[in-house]
Amino acid sequence: MVRTKSVLLALGGLLAVGATALLVWSLLVAGSSGSRSPNRETVPGADATRPDARRPRPSAPPIDVPKSKARVAEILTALPQESDRRRHEALASELRNLLRRLGKDRVDAATKEQLLKLLVTLDPQKRRLIAQALGALDGDEATARRLLQMCREEGIDVHTARVIFEALGQMHVPALLPDLLEMLDARSPHSPLIVGVIAATGGRAGGEALVVRLTQSIQPDTHQAIVSVLVKNPDPHVLKVVADSLATADTQARKSLVEVLGRSRNARFSRQLGVLYGSEPDEEVRLKILRALGRIGNRDAALFLLDTVNGGGPAGDHAVRALRDIRRPDAVEALAERWDTLKPPVRSAVMEAAARLPKPSAKLVAKARLALHDPNEGTRVNAARILGRPGQEEHIQPLVDFLESNTGVRAQAVGLDSLLRIGTPAAAAAVVANLHGVPEDAGKVYRMRAQRILTRKPD
């Protein structure tokens, strides 16, 4: 008994220490987050109400420059001989951190020269790590120009060019933009890689320049690379340049410009795309516009697509597919409000879009309960998906009725999964009671999942 008490006392002490450490850590985090909590510790003797009276954010210890330079030299000597992959990656990571902390001005020319030499002499895997280390020399224009010159040389292999351009993208040297654009216009074999560097370092000017190139006759792989980077970096100003370019671009360029606007999902351009659809002579561009409106997916886009469906013809089928891409709750609700007038394919699309929302509104849930009795199976199945929300036991009986009247494999799976997502014992019991139409192997899995809920201890 004495020993047990001692153990308990020791554990209590450890817990107290742990709680204290956790509290201290939380205070440090709060102190560095910029919070205006009145409980934050202040500099002794200072006015606690003044923002500048709070303790300064702890900074990294000052770097020992001579020691760090010596360590960089050691790593550069060890890297070529190191054969263990993990050890090599650890050394490269340490090198990158040291170079970043030293900065471009404290790394001597001999070290930079050695890095450049290793970049072309090591095996491909090690070259990538060296390129990442060079990328830590943020803003080093002289080194960046050396790297760019290496890429201009004939005979450079694709892998080395790739890692060099990766390094250039990390170095962020805007002064390289004219040179990069010159290489792009000269149809460099590395054009797709150059596009990535322009996007990473050229800022808004680089984005505008890429839009101009998108409207010109360029290589297909470069064309697609520009589309990709414009989508990944959706600067509103650059997107406006994209939209303004639609009026003068040729057919192929209009397809790409429309794709950029659609994949940006920026609602600002939905009406402009709707106007363009009405005047666009090329059928492929018109279909691209419908797809773009679905991706943008705001209320205006949704209602435009609905009008296109009601207009009939082949475009109506494409508009239905675009409606399935909508992800904005207000747009889905705007369509659901017109439920009684929607055509069957549109009802199915609306329920599919609603089922993909993280948290459908009460209005959409009410429509889903009605849609459980829709003639279209796809509509019914997606409606059943919507009802599978944690803790909502009021949906258990409608889902049980759905399982009894829909015996297809897909419908059964969706109905049972929705009950399991409700996650209460009553929902789990309903799963166990409705496995008669399920194949034996699948039934075992559902029974096991339901049993976990039934045996789960309450929180």
Residue bearing the bigger pLDDT, 5 or 404: 404
For residue 193, the surrounding DSSP H or E stretch is helix 191-201
- Show the domain range for 429: 388-459
Alpha-carbon distance of 450 to 457, in angstroms, equals: 14
Instruction: Flag whether 368 is in a domain.
Output: no
| Average pLDDT, rounded, for the chain | 85
311 Cβ contact list (under 8 Å, min separation 6): none
Instruction: Flag whether 88 is in a domain.
Output: no
pLDDT tens figures, 278-307: 999 999 999 999 999 999 999 999 999 999
Instruction: Flag whether 395 is in a domain.
Output: yes
pLDDT tens figures, 87-101: 988 998 999 999 999
Please give the span between the terminal C-alpha atoms of the chain, in angstroms, as a whole number. 32
Burial call 115-140: b when 16+ CB within 10 Å, e when fewer? bbebbeebeeebbbbbbbbbbbbeeb
Q: Is the pLDDT of residue 450 over 50?
A: yes
Tell me what pLDDT residue 288 has: 96
pLDDT tens figures, 180-206: 999 998 888 889 999 999 998 888 999
Helix axes 109-121, 141-152, angle to 10 degrees: 30
Instruction: Flag whether 422 is in a domain.
Output: yes
332 Cβ contact list (under 8 Å, min separation 6): 302, 326, 350, 353, 354, 357, 360, 364
Residue 76, CA atoms < 13 Å, CB-side half-sphere: 22
Contact between 450 and 432 under an 8 Å Cβ cutoff? The reply is yes
268 Cβ contact list (under 8 Å, min separation 6): 236, 239
Give the DSSP letter string of 347-373. Answer: HHHHHHHHHTSSS--HHHHHHHHHHTT
pLDDT class for 383, splitting at 50, 70, 90? very high
Residues in the chain: 459
pTM of the model: 0.74
Q: Is the pLDDT of residue 14 over 70?
A: no
Alpha-carbon distance of 376 to 78, in angstroms, equals: 68
Percentage of the chain surpassing pLDDT 70?
87
Alpha-carbon distance of 447 to 420, in angstroms, equals: 10
Contact between 297 and 328 under an 8 Å Cβ cutoff? The reply is yes
Taken in order 423, 427, 428, 432, the sign of the CA dihedral is: negative
**384 token code pair:** 């059943």
Alpha-carbon distance of 19 to 17, in angstroms, equals: 5
Instruction: Give the residue from 355, 287, 352 showing the smallest Cα distance to 315.
Output: 287
Q: Quick count: other Cβ atoms within 10 Å of Cβ 390?
A: 9
Q: How many domains does the chain have?
A: 1
Instruction: Flag whether 400 is in a domain.
Output: yes
